[in-house]
Amino acid sequence: MMNETIYLEKFKLLTGMAMLLQSCDKEEELFDVIFLYLPKLFPDVYGEIFLQDTLEKEIHSAFVWGKLTKEMPMPDFEHCRAFACGVVVNTSENRAIPCEKCRRGECCIPFCDGSHAFGILCLSGATARIRAGYRGLAFVTAEYLALAIVNLRLKKRLHELTLKDPLTGLFNRRHMDETVPREIIRAKRAGASLGAIMVDLDYFKDVNDSFGHDAGDEVLKKVGHFLKSAFRVEDLVCRFGGEEFFILMTSGEAKDYCARARKLREGIKGLDISWEGRQISPVTASLGVVVFPDNGKTFEELLHRADQALYLAKAQGRDRVILGDNEA
């Protein structure tokens, strides 16, 4: 057990860590806090934190302190009792060897969100084995960390819901309305151009009428996924509404934007889309391309000209790209 002086010292550290964890706005900031506190809370101990990614659901080593006596492979989380069952594994109480599946520590404490484990705190070393007080400290530390991570991930998810279209995962109209004017101001200052593409799926109503609205949603999902994969991180890809999409591109000229629009049209047409065993594809799209500042100096002007170009593409037979008022 810890003596009173050590206990008070650890309690102060734990309280300080908890206060800083509450002030974190991002998960990355949380690791700055634990980098400062965990080695002080658990000196002369090997410790490792494993976390499950929220999107890919893959588990990775997120933070390590102390030294392992030898290189160890990633634990078998599928059979790890701490992760799979969400229970504390304390092998030192029954004098067992470190967890056969984890092999990282004598004391493994899951991070839980309800009944679901999304990470583990693993400790090993003489201190973790001998002093029961350190195991209690580890349990409280894991509770603080789990609560902070859950709150940060929930906050991030709620923020994303205000910016993302839930069906396609693309940015929504609200985010577009906030972001594009800022990009135009930035481009004006830099003397740079911007390219915008308005995309409309041809005969989309026929898909809904012939296959049902669930099939229509599947088309939107597939097209949305393709659009997201076809553009760079610095480009803005949004669902404008219904079967319309809007893309804002940086660093290029009119010919570059048109070339990307043509590839986009061909890529959408080449998607393999089916619903309940029935083939829906090929799906075609009409695209209107405009350039800042040539076709408009404000967001409203660009949007209006892109809509006009899209209308021309529809009027001229669909499945084509129009730049401003001319076929690209």
- Which sequence positions are flagged as catalytic? 243
Please report how the helices 299-315 and 173-190 are oriented relative to each other, as an axis angle in degrees rounded to 10: 110
Mode of pairing for the β-strands spanning 285-292 and 321-323: parallel
Q: Decide: 121 and 47 in contact? Cβ < 8 Å.
A: yes
Whole-angstrom Cα distance, residue 253 to residue 20?
47
| DSSP code of residue 97 | P
Task: Please tell me the distance from the alpha carbon of residue 92 to that of residue 239, in angstroms, as a whole number.
Answer: 55
Spatial contact of 120 and 82, defined as CB atoms under 8 Å apart: yes
- In terms of Cα–Cα distance, which of 261, 314, 320 is closest to 290? 261
Strand partners, 59: 52
In the sheet with 59-65, reading across from the earlier edge strand, the strands are: 59-65, 46-52, 116-124, 107-113, 89-90
CA distance 247 to 174: 14
Q: Tokens 């089916």: give the residue.
A: 274
Are 285 and 317 in contact, with CB atoms under 8 Å apart?
no
The contacts of residue 234 (CB under 8 Å, 6+ apart) are 250, 251
Task: Return the closest-CA partner of residue 22 out of 146, 143, 148.
Answer: 148
**Cβ pair 316, 323 in contact under 8 A:** no
Name residue, tokens 């076929």.
Answer: 327
Do the Cβ atoms of 121 and 49 come closer than 8 Å? yes
